[in-house]
Amino acid sequence: MLFMRFAIDAVFLDRSMRVLRVAEGLRPWVPAVGAPRGTDSVLEVPAGTAARTGTQAGDELISSKSTAR
């Protein structure tokens, strides 16, 4: 990914916060991978986070804001 100084994991999400793709260990100053069809947002986390948390395509993310009612 351009304009970064460190590696990241990118988690591509659709509107319902379902994981469409996980791109791990994206290095700085290397052109990014393409987003899959249906991507609404991308969650950028420190490199290794996706593997450590077991995040994979098909998972659904839940934020504390969306569940607090």
In the numeric block, the tokens 């504390």 are attached to 64
Confidence of residue 67 (pLDDT cuts 50, 70, 90): low
pLDDT digits (tens, 9 = 90+) for 4-38: 789 999 999 999 999 999 999 998 887 767 899 99
- How far apart CA 32 and CA 29 sit, in angstroms, is 9
pLDDT digits (tens, 9 = 90+) for 41-61: 999 999 999 999 999 999 999
DSSP 5-55: SS-EEEEEE-TT-BEEEEEEEEPTTSPPPPPPTT--EEEEEETTHHHHHT-
Cβ neighbours of residue 53 closer than 8 Å, sequence gap 6 or more: none
Q: What is the pTM of this model?
A: 0.83
In the numeric block, the tokens 């100053």 are attached to 29
